[in-house]
Amino acid sequence: MTSPTPPPGWHPDPSEPGLIRYWDGAQWTEHTQPAAESTAEEPAPPGAAESDQPARAGVPRAVKIIGGIVAAFVVIGVLGAVFGDDEPADDSQAAAPSTTSSAAAQQTSTPDPSTTTPPATTVPPTTTTTSAVAAAPPAPATYLSDPRCAPANQSLVDLVSSGFSESGLTLTNGTVIDSGDYTYIGGTTLDATGGVENRSDVWVIANGSVYSSTGGARNTTSWPRASSELDVSPGDPDVQAVDACVVDLTR
């Protein structure tokens, strides 16, 4: 009690006279005994050595605890590395038979090459047939009235059409008879809506000039009259023949 830091051991209890209390070198412990029964050689109470060891060791014990924890993690890491490396090996070993089995299956499914060469098969070339109906030109006009009738050249049709006195009129079914001195041309006159204005009209061409012959030709075009200039009347046989051929086309 008189010494502030007595050595570890049993000493008179500073708070309870007649008792001795164990001093662990740093503090008074809870262990007490009667003063008459204690001796200097009496061993330390149970747990006093344990409480004394941390007071003396202190930091080394904490280091040991930390070291033990670190060692445990190291052991776990080593075990994980060892068993982790074994798993890919097992996978590769398990995959090897599968590859072998696949190869064996492929070899089994491959038929043996035939010793007999099959005869060569001749494949006819592929040909593309174009529709004849779509590509074929329109059938030529059939004239039953007079075999001399023939389809008019488009240039003659345009020449006659240029004399229409009313806009929108057109000439179709152009038909001609060439008699030598004169060319007789007939056709069907259509109005601007496509309706028939005159079923058949006839004009006469002489030396590149156009003359109107029939009544419809005189009424719809501005060409001079054939009867006055050429002495060709609407009743002329060639005029009548061309007129009949145009009518045949409109039946």
Per-residue pLDDT tens digits of the chain, which is 251 residues long: 445 677 888 888 888 878 888 888 888 888 888 877 544 455 656 555 554 444 444 446 665 677 778 777 776 776 766 565 555 444 545 444 444 444 444 555 555 555 555 556 666 666 555 544 455 655 555 667 799 999 999 999 999 999 999 999 999 999 999 998 999 999 999 999 999 999 999 999 999 999 999 999 999 999 999 999 999 999 999 999 999 999 999 98
CB 196 within 8 A of CB 188: yes
Nearest to residue 206, comparing CAs of 188, 224, 220, 219? Answer: 224
| E-only strand ranges, 60-164 | 150-151
pTM equals 0.45
DSSP class of residue 221 equals B
